[in-house]
A = this chain, B = another copy of it.
Amino acid sequence: MSTVIPGKPDTTSPWATRFAPIGEELAGVEHRLQAALRHPDPFIDELAQRSFRLGGKRLRPALLLLTAQAAGAINDNHRILAAVVEMIHTATLVHDDVLDEAAIRRHEDTINARWNNQTSILLGDYLFSQAFYLASSLETTLGCRTIGRSTNIVCEGELLQTAASGNFELSCEQYFRIIGAKTAELCACCCSLGAHYAGCDQQAIEKLKTFGQQLGIAFQIADDLLDLVGEEQTVGKSLGTDLTKQRMTLPLILLRDQLDSTQQRDLQNLLDVPNIDNNGTLKAWLQSSGALQQAHELAQSHADEARQQLTFLADSPAKQSLLLLPQEAVSRCI
């Protein structure tokens, strides 16, 4: 049963407890988001308010604020940028739901399911430009520049993923390049901005950026595992999208690479016709071959790599929260 209260961020997930050291700051981000997305036109207002509930976990603003707090102190630059990164993330979610033809996200109808694709595309554009507008309220152009560059890399990753659809030959290296761009880049950007505006030196900024990058990779591998073997009701969003879109994710790549050419043809035949029977056979094969376990171990090693970046930070509740995030990311898919 869903525990999500419409209009409120999800405070019941294990993530929320990790964010306790910045709980009040996150509440402030909610108010800022809600205020920035109010609109005099009732239709646009309804869309904007609804989009604002899609992100749910608020992982990216939390990451930015926790990094800031662990590395120094949170200031107004961080508060603005926390709202900006959540808007950018929401814009990509709204467009993702069109790309994936997804009907459910966070136990609610997606914008494209409730209205139509046109509305989703325009709402995503509206959120992108609103995010950049908000970023331009900082004193210098550094925020806009960093967000612009990262958003660009996110889009590149998504474009490469689209081009890779149906490509059975996708290499492990190409897979990591795609997820490094489409997911990990914005996490890295959050940590880098958190550190920069807390007054860190370049070396500390780089370490915290790497933390975000590795966390993002672990998170996406776990997401790809969930898309294959998760339960929609528990996860709260449409699953099985990667098989429908014929995307080679890590478990499939690991399985393929251990097969001989005859078995590879069998695998390709299953992937070519995604239906309930074939997907069931695939899941059993992924399980028995150990590919699921291997993918999980790779997620774990990126989570460990993330945690190792934080050794230079003095101990604090914010640091403890950051240390727990990679584990939370990976344990979702066990």
Cα–Cα, bound, A139→B133 (Å): 16
**Could you tell me if B159 and A133 are in contact, using CB atoms closer than 8 angstroms?**
no
- Smallest Cβ distance from A166 to chain B, in angstroms? 12
Is A119 close to B, CB under 8 A? Answer: yes
In the complex, residue of chain B having the shortest beta-carbon distance to the beta carbon of A119: B162
Per-residue B-contact encoding for A132-164, CB less than 8 Å = 1, 0 else: 111111111100110111011011101110110
**Could you tell me if B99 and A156 are in contact, using CB atoms closer than 8 angstroms?**
no
Stretch at the interface among A17-25, A40-48, A267-275, A308-316: A40-48
CB < 8 Å neighbour of A151 from B129, B141, B158: B129
- Smallest Cβ distance from A172 to chain B, in angstroms? 18
- Smallest Cβ distance from A158 to chain B, in angstroms? 5
- Smallest Cβ distance from A171 to chain B, in angstroms? 15
**Could you tell me if A141 and B148 are in contact, using CB atoms closer than 8 angstroms?**
no
Contacts of A155 in B (CB 8 A): 122-123, 125-126, 129
Is A124 close to B, CB under 8 A? Answer: yes
Contacts of A156 in B (CB 8 A): 39, 41, 44, 126
Is A175 close to B, CB under 8 A? Answer: no
CB < 8 Å neighbour of A141 from B39, B122, B138: B138
Best-surrounded residue of A119, A122, A135, A144 (most CB of chain B within 10 A): A122
**Could you tell me if A121 and B98 are in contact, using CB atoms closer than 8 angstroms?**
yes
Copies of this chain: 2
Contacts of A162 in B (CB 8 A): 116, 118-119, 122
Contacts of A52 in B (CB 8 A): none
Is A130 close to B, CB under 8 A? Answer: yes
CB < 8 Å neighbour of A125 from B44, B95, B126, B163: B95
Contacts of A211 in B (CB 8 A): none
Is A197 close to B, CB under 8 A? Answer: no
Is A219 close to B, CB under 8 A? Answer: no
**Could you tell me if B122 and A158 are in contact, using CB atoms closer than 8 angstroms?**
yes
Cα–Cα, bound, A228→B269 (Å): 49
**Could you tell me if A140 and B141 are in contact, using CB atoms closer than 8 angstroms?**
yes
- Smallest Cβ distance from A188 to chain B, in angstroms? 16
Cα–Cα, bound, A16→B236 (Å): 54
In the complex, residue of chain B having the shortest beta-carbon distance to the beta carbon of A165: B118
29 A-B pairs within 8 Å (CB atoms) are namely: A39-B156, A41-B160, A43-B160, A44-B156, A92-B125, A95-B122, A95-B125, A118-B162, A119-B159, A119-B162, A119-B163, A121-B121, A125-B151, A125-B155, A126-B155, A129-B152, A129-B154, A129-B155, A130-B152, A132-B148, A133-B145, A133-B148, A133-B151, A136-B141, A136-B144, A137-B145, A140-B141, A141-B141, A144-B144
Q: What 5 A-B pairs are tightest by C-beta distance, nearest first?
A: A133-B148, A129-B151, A136-B144, A136-B145, A126-B155
